[in-house]
């Protein structure tokens, strides 16, 4: 037999509304996949996809990208100064460059001689862009006026909570002919094509990792408008590339 208190609790539980599930993250219609064969690899395959109705079309690539000089970090293992590119799926924050805005849709921040990136885990501005005329960028900050690497770039939204020591200054930037310090790099012409294509209203994402999965491709012959445009641009870039 159920006592009065137990009966009241049971009634309350029945009347209690079902918990509201968290809304799913908005689906991106632009996805970049950077996939390597092994964690120690310093080169990877870069492919950009336009996604429409759950089906993907190749917009750019596959291209050769460079990673950190120690390859990919395993998920959650990225640490400051380890020379590894983080694994995971991330958004983008803003674009930047020593050169003038090349016509991108994201906010574009010009690089000045007083701009640095705070890489100091003990600093209150860790993993932030800092104007040294106004604020202290911590110990051994990274100068943003680095040519040709930072002629153009985009900030990958890694460690946005700025957890000390988990890694900072992760960008997609211009290839300098060798591994990066933990970023992803592409040749200039390819990078510029991608930067101009990325649209913040499409909530683009970049997926980084070993054997990172590609999205399901649309059946042959069903290329979306963006994908077709990307394919045309890719072909043009390949024709222009010196042998």
CB 60 within 8 A of CB 47: yes
Phi, psi (deg, nearest 5) at residue 151: -55, -40
Phi, psi (deg, nearest 5) at residue 5: -70, -40
The pLDDT tens digits along the chain (243 residues) read 334 444 443 343 333 333 222 222 346 799 999 999 999 999 999 999 999 888 899 999 999 999 999 999 999 999 999 999 999 999 999 999 999 999 999 999 999 999 999 999 999 999 999 999 999 999 999 999 999 999 999 999 999 999 999 999 999 999 999 999 999 999 999 999 999 999 999 999 999 999 999 999 988 655 444 443 444 333 333 333 332
pTM comes to 0.81
Q: What is the per-residue pLDDT for 65?
A: 98
**Could you tell me the residue ranges of all domains in the chain?**
28-213+228-235
Q: What is the per-residue pLDDT for 73?
A: 98
Q: What is the per-residue pLDDT for 219?
A: 84
Residue 175 CA to residue 94 CA, distance in Å, equals 19
Cis peptide before 62 (omega within 30 of 0): yes
Q: Which residues of 10-41 are buried (b: 16+ CB within 10 A; e: fewer)?
A: eeeeeeeeeeeeeeeeeebbbbbbbbbeebee
Q: What is the per-residue pLDDT for 113?
A: 97
> Please, where are the H alpha helices in the chain?
4-15, 188-197, 225-240
């Amino acid at each position: 037999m159920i006592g009065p208190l137990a009966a009241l609790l049971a009634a309350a539980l029945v009347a209690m509304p079902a918990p509201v599930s968290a809304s799913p993250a908005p689906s991106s219609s632009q996805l970049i996949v950077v996939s390597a064969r092994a964690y120690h690899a310093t080169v990877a395959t870069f492919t950009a996809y336009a996604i429409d109705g759950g089906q993907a079309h190749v917009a750019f690539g596959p291209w050769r990208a460079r990673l950190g000089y120690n390859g990919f970090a395993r998920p959650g293992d990225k640490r400051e100064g380890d020379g590894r590119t983080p694994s995971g799926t991330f958004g983008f924050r803003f674009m930047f460059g020593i050169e003038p805005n090349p016509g991108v849709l994201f906010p574009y921040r010009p690089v000045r001689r007083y701009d640095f990136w705070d890489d100091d885990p003990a600093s209150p501005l860790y993993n932030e862009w800092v104007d040294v005329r106004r604020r202290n960028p911590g110990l051994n900050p990274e100068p943003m006026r680095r040519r040709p690497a930072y002629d153009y770039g985009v900030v990958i939204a890694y460690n946005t909570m700025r957890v000390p020591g988990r890694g900072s200054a992760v960008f997609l930037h211009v290839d300098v002919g060798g591994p990066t310090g933990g970023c992803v790099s592409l040749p200039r012409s390819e990078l510029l094509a991608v930067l101009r294509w990325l649209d913040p209203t499409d909530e683009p994402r970049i997926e980084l990792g070993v054997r990172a999965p590609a999205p399901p491709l649309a059946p042959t012959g069903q290329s979306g408008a963006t994908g077709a445009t990307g394919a045309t641009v890719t072909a043009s870039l390949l024709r222009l590339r010196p042998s």
